[in-house]
A and B are shown apart, each in its own frame.
Chain A
Amino acid sequence: MDFNEIKNIWKDSVKEKERLSSGQIEAMLKIKSKSNTALGKIKSSFKFELITGAGMYLFIITGLFILVNTPQSIMLFVVVSLLMGIPLFFYYQTYKKIRHSIYTEGNLKQSLRSTTNNIEKFVISGKNNYFKYALIPLATITGMFMGLYIGTGENNIIKIFDSLETRSIIKMVVLLTVFSGIMIPFSKYWFKKKFKQHYIELKKCLKELEEETNN
């Protein structure tokens, strides 16, 4: 079969079949639809993690502010704020880098390579970032003590702790262990589902293009 014939069939099938007017183009630009590219999905998932993390961070800090009333409380407050705030800040910096990635860096191959490199940095740091997993039990503990504070009106964490029966403490520890035990693998699964899959997909595309060159 002559390839020109194939070419003509293709051309006929796409030739001026659909046309957008300038009004339609402008309207389409105004629609803020969710991006379906791998990078777009990663950006939105990352944004979700960042907002959730920041929410937990603020909750923990607020809890500490209300519940810790020792002479060293300010020092503790500063240390904890920095310990949790710094990783969160770096998380945000990575997000900013991904957010600003656009498809204009050279040709198709270069652009895909740059995108995958950016994502790779994030995927690796995200995979090994146990800080975000630590936020979950910390936020849970804060939630428990905040609940007790609301229930009892006592705002000193040590006094709250002293007033608890051993049985209640054991119950809390068991509950926390079970909850964290469920949440950590769930978070890891979520991470894998939302980020790693997309990364693998892009890497596959890049490999396809590189194979084209090396064949």
Chain B
Amino acid sequence: MNKDTITKEFTELIEDNQGIIFNVSAMYCNDLTCRKDLVQEILLQLWRSFPTYDKTRKYTTWMYRIALNTAISQWRKDKTKKEVAMDKLPVTVTDDDIINEKSERVRILNIAINRLNKAEKSIIILYMDDYPYDEISEITGISVSNVGVKINRIKKKLQNHLKELGYGL
């Protein structure tokens, strides 16, 4: 297969499943710059790994695995500062940029998600995207029996964080 055919095949697959890339970047990044960088990084890692992709396996599973691995390995100098800063924002703050970018509900949900650790994020994102337990297990490496337990714990944790943030839906 020549390079153009490979590029075309890859581009088509990405176009059809690009939601995964944006989901992961939204889960792991608080700001637009970080998201853009992460989208670019994931795309490059997918491209580099594409020659080794086993076509007998589900494409979305492979894609999620690489996207999550890239997001987890993403290195940002100011990461801690930004996370703390976002976490300390009072719920009532009305920043025009933020309001324009997403609703208050989404913002609060993002603050709560931000309090989860990286592993918890990788599990909950798959659950939010309606992945079955066996696929979550396949992607993360956590046993199927453990996936359900973990999801319940993370759900409770997230709900508690939302409560703490005074978020009554």
Which residue numbers of A lie inside 8 Å of B, CB to CB?
1-3, 5-7, 9-22, 25-26, 28-29, 31, 33, 35-41, 102-104, 106-112, 115, 198, 201-202, 205, 208-209, 211-213, 215
Given A112-B69, A205-B118, A211-B119; A13-B49 close (CB under 8 Å) = no
B142 to A212, Cβ gap below 8 A?
yes
B68 to A108, Cβ gap below 8 A?
yes
B109 to A36, Cβ gap below 8 A?
no
Say yes or no: is B81 at the interface (Cβ < 8 Å to chain A).
no
Given A6-B162, A10-B128, A106-B141; A1-B169 close (CB under 8 Å) = yes
Given A25-B15, A36-B41; A212-B72 close (CB under 8 Å) = no
A10 to B109, Cβ gap below 8 A?
yes
Given A6-B109, A13-B106, A22-B15; A109-B140 close (CB under 8 Å) = yes
Q: Quote the shortest CB–CB distance from A176 to chain B (angstroms).
A: 35
* Pick from A10, A21, A103: contact of B45, CB under 8 Å: A103
A202 to B73, Cβ gap below 8 A?
yes
Complex: A25 Cα to B14 Cα, angstroms? 8
B138 to A208, Cβ gap below 8 A?
no
Say yes or no: is B18 at the interface (Cβ < 8 Å to chain A).
yes
- B7 / chain A contacts, CB cutoff of 8 Å: 26, 29
* Pick from B19, B62, B118: contact of A208, CB under 8 Å: B118
Q: Quote the shortest CB–CB distance from A199 to chain B (angstroms).
A: 11
- A36 / chain B contacts, CB cutoff of 8 Å: 37-38, 41, 74-76
- A33 / chain B contacts, CB cutoff of 8 Å: 40-41, 44
Query: 8 Å CB contacts to A: which residues of B19-47?
Result: 19, 22-23, 26, 37-41, 43-45, 47
B120 to A104, Cβ gap below 8 A?
no
* Smallest Cβ-Cβ distance to A18: which chain B residue: B22
Say yes or no: is B155 at the interface (Cβ < 8 Å to chain A).
yes
* Pick from B22, B45, B75, B140: contact of A209, CB under 8 Å: B140
